[in-house]
Amino acid sequence: MLEGKHIILGITGGIAAYKSAMLARLLIKAGAEVQVVMTPSAKEFITPVTLSALTGKPVVSEFFTANTGEWHSHVDLGLWADAMVIAPATACTIGKMASGVADNMLVTTYLSAKAPVFVAPAMDLDMMAHPSTVRNLATLRSYGNHIIEAASGELASHLTGKGRMQEPEVIVAELERFFASTSQLAGKKVLVTAGPTYEKIDPVRFIGNYSSGKMGYAIADEAARRGAEVTIVSGPVSIKPTVPGVRVVNVESARQMLAACEEAFSQTDIAIMCAAVADYAPANPADRKIKREKEDVPVINLVKNPDIAATLGARKQPGQSLVGFALETDNEHANALDKLRRKNLDMIALNSLRDAGAGFGTDTNVITLIDATGAETRLPLMPKTEAAACILDAINNL
């Protein structure tokens, strides 16, 4: 998986920098081309000579070569890379990356990198647990960076706890897994619905729900990371895809969402219906604001909205996969299975409002995947970004 890949190995100033030599060696052995970029303080821990000898490339550390004035272009490096791995990543560099403090070659390269970035933190346990480190790592995650969680064990301080940089073998395996997954959906077209629908009552009021779009956008981002051409048909939300190239079709009502899905579906390999579509819409939305002072309490008659998933399910062709969600409050498995069968789905992702941290608005979810045979796999509480990866893995295995 790493054959021919261009990897920037960023090294910062921590004791674990001695392991970076082994990491460079393993990457080279796996067929990658490795360019080391070190912070000035990293050179206190491991010499550039060792790393340039291992990688066959001069190490980059300064903006200029002192005696010739030659400029080292972080922009070119950022474009060259298929991945950037920062190992070890100290609390200081993580903080600079989170807030864009571009005062060295490593951070400027990070800010210019178009490729996925992997960060392997290494520091003492108290630094690791400090709220600023926790917040900075969460910020990097929100930028789409991959955090290779530090391991627990004996630390340089001789204290024991979380803060050890993962072993080079683990980091290489993580990169291999990543490159394997990015090619998984190459050439596939994926359609995702996300967010709520708004059904107009009058020009200023609507019937809606609490969906934030986080689950659907996480799926769309992950599918794009895996090489798919992704379209999100999105109800009104305040978020955007984080992966470049994801196409967003903005809609408001269930009928508009249906029209956009119908247009895209014949060209789609995998459709994932994550939107919380309103089941009913006002039959006769008013074209002027309903005035409280002048009118009696209005009676709003509702009509049934079209079922988008069922409509696509009826048109599904061999080779197309259709996956739905079920948001339940009770009798979860039976209700989800009933939806899967009625809508001709290949799989349904059940989330229950009875599970803490699941459902609307949260950054986490608790998903149970149910296939057409009724077999279920319950996943633990996890970030929606990880749940998205599990859902796509399961679709791949269908």
Residue whose CB is less far from ligand PMT, 110 or 265: 265
33: contact with ligand PMT by CB under 6 A: no
Beta carbon of residue 261, minimum distance to ligand PMT (angstroms, whole number): 8
Active-site choice (209, 335, 344, 396): 209
Stretch that binds ligand PMT, among 7-15, 19-27, 198-206, 357-365 (CB under 6 A): 357-365
Q: What is the 3-state secondary structure (H, E, C) of the chain?
A: CCCCCEEEEEECCCHHHHHHHHHHHHHHHCCCEEEEEECHHHHHCCCHHHHHHHHCCCCECCCECCCCCCECCHHHHHHHCCEEEEEEECHHHHHHHHHCCCCCHHHHHHHHCCCCEEEEECCCHHHHHCHHHHHHHHHHHHCCCEECCCEEEECCCCCEEEEECCCHHHHHHHHHHHHHHHCCCCCCEEEEEECECCEEEECCEEECCCCCCHHHHHHHHHHHHCCCEEEEEECCCCCCCCCCCCEEEECCCHHHHHHHHHHHHCCCCEEEECCECCCEEECCCCCCCCCCCCCCCCCCCEEECCCHHHHHHHHCCCCCEEEEEEEECCCHHHHHHHHHHHCCCCEEEEEECCCCCCCCCCCEECCEEEECCCCEEECCCEEHHHHHHHHHHHHHHC
221: contact with ligand PMT by CB under 6 A: no
Residues numbered 138-157 forming contacts with ligand PMT, rule: CB under 6 A: none
- Chosen residue from 106, 148, 150, 276 binding ligand PMT by CB under 6 A: 276
Beta carbon of residue 238, minimum distance to ligand PMT (angstroms, whole number): 11
360: contact with ligand PMT by CB under 6 A: yes
Residue whose CB is less far from ligand PMT, 9 or 322: 322
219: contact with ligand PMT by CB under 6 A: no
Residues numbered 289-308 forming contacts with ligand PMT, rule: CB under 6 A: 305, 307-308
Q: Total residues contacting ligand PMT (rule CB under 6 A)?
A: 28
- Chosen residue from 81, 148, 230, 309 binding ligand PMT by CB under 6 A: 309
- Chosen residue from 26, 113, 233, 254 binding ligand PMT by CB under 6 A: 254
365 is annotated as an active-site residue: no
Residues found near ligand PMT in the complex (CB under 6 A): 193, 195, 211-216, 254, 273-277, 279, 305, 307-309, 324-327, 339, 351, 359-361
